[in-house]
Structure 1
Amino acid sequence: MSATDRTTVLVMDMFNPYDHEDAERLTGSVEKILPSLARLVDEAAERPEVEIIYVNDNHGDFSAGPADLRQRAIEGRRPDLVEPLPVPAGCAFLPKVRHSAFFGTPLEYLLRREDIGTLVLAGQVTEQCVLYTALDAYVREFAVRVAEDCVAHIHGDLAEAAIQMMHRNMSATVMPGHSALGS
């Protein structure tokens, strides 16, 4: 298997306490994508050649680890949007502080070390963190797949525009989550 054949599912910002200004708009979209996203993570966990990496905003707490962020999200306003998402043993977790999963994180180093060539983007928010991560992946010459039914948005019109931008300007393949891992 060559480096360009290796894939990772990048799950972004799903440990969310939903206590922010746009939470009400976002949660409706998260409700819709959660079953597809959980299936994608489960399928990826069954395939040893696929890595799963969770990248999550640390919400300004630089001492918070994965368990802390997940627990805060479960104790937040919508635990029903956090608890169903599987976190397979051994998957990587990277805290982030800004929109892109690459900004200020060791993500690029991890991907190169693991010979990953393709990123499957999933999580939230399509028109923000997913879009900026896609751009950063593209300029670093990673192949990008957007699992369209596994990304949540705040503004539907902006999400549609972001999907088009990722496809047209960043050569992203836009596909359903059940197809995103390939055969």
Structure 2
Amino acid sequence: MGSTALIVIDMLSTYEHEDADALVRSVRKALPGIGTLLEHARGAGAPVVYVNDNFGRWRSHLGEILEAALAGRHGDLVEPIAPDDQALFVVKARHSVFYETPLAYLLGQLDVQRVVLCGQVTEQCVLYSALDAHIRHLDVVVAVDAVAHIDAGLADVALRMMESNMSAQLRPSREITFEGATAG
């Protein structure tokens, strides 16, 4: 049996988009759950992979994206969940963390069979990432208190879809364990 990886989706953000105000309210509620997951995963030695949009900046890298996010309007949302020195980082340009990224290969190299998804946006990037994980035969867990949304109604529907159509387990962060994890 493979290990479990925590996938942190799009949390390094400057929040400079039209839906930012609605998202920020939800992110504030999700931060404690994300912090709990990071603590549990790091404590177990599980791989923690930040997968983040590059915002169309094609020469960007983790340091640049993190710096911009910390200096942005809501750096206070980024600072408590910023990557540590052990975190892995993958840049994405579209909604799914898997679409045209090396994430599937990376997870294979780490012998990951189960992914725990957290981050933003539930009804967009989290949903599409859960689907892509499912079609790659990965076990999917979504931390319901560690995902943020723009539209609460769509987020609820997206979570139900992940559970019924993708066999995702929906769990609060405090109930998610990372036993059997191996650091990569």
The two structures share one fold, judged by TM-score above 0.5:
yes
In structure 1, runs of 5+ residues without a counterpart are: none
Give matches, 1:7-156, under 5 Å. 7-48=4-45, 50-156=46-152
Whether the aligned pair in 2 keeps the contact of 1:22 and 1:154 (CA below 8 Å) is: yes
CA contact (8 A) 1:34 1:150 kept: yes
Contact 1:45 1:88 (8 Å CA) reproduced = no
| Equivalent residues of 1:42, 1:86 under 8 A apart | no
- Give the Å deviation of 1:91: 1.5
Conservation of the 8 A alpha-carbon contact between 1:100 and 1:133:
yes
Match of 1:100, SS?
Answer: coil
What percentage of aligned pairs have identical amino acids? 44
CA distance in 2, matches of 1:35, 1:156: 18
Runs of 4 or more above 6 Å deviation:
none
The match for 1:174 is 170
2: CA distance between counterparts of 1:100 and 1:65? 18
Letter in 2 for 1:67: G
How many residues are paired up?
179
**Contact 1:58–1:69 at 8 Å: present in 2 too?**
yes
- Unmatched 5+ residue regions in structure 2? 180-184
More relative contact order, 1 or 2 (CA 8 Å, 6+ apart): 2
User: Which letter does structure 2 place at the counterpart of 1:43?
Assistant: H
Quick one: structure 1 residues 86 and 61, their matched pair in 2 at CA, closer, same or farther if it must change by over 3 Å? closer
Shift of 1:182: 5.1
One-letter identity of the residue aligned with 2:167: S
Q: Is the 8 A contact 2:4 2:112 kept in 1?
A: yes
- Give the whole-Å Cα distance in 1 for the aligned partners of 2:84 and 2:162: 28
Contact 1:15 1:70 (8 Å CA) reproduced:
yes
Q: How high is the TM-score relative to the length of structure 1?
A: 0.95
For 1:41, the aligned partner's letter is L
Give 1:86 deviation, angstroms: 3.9
- Secondary structure in structure 2 of the residue aligned to 1:7: strand
In 2, the alpha carbon distance for the partners of 1:163 and 1:119 equals 16
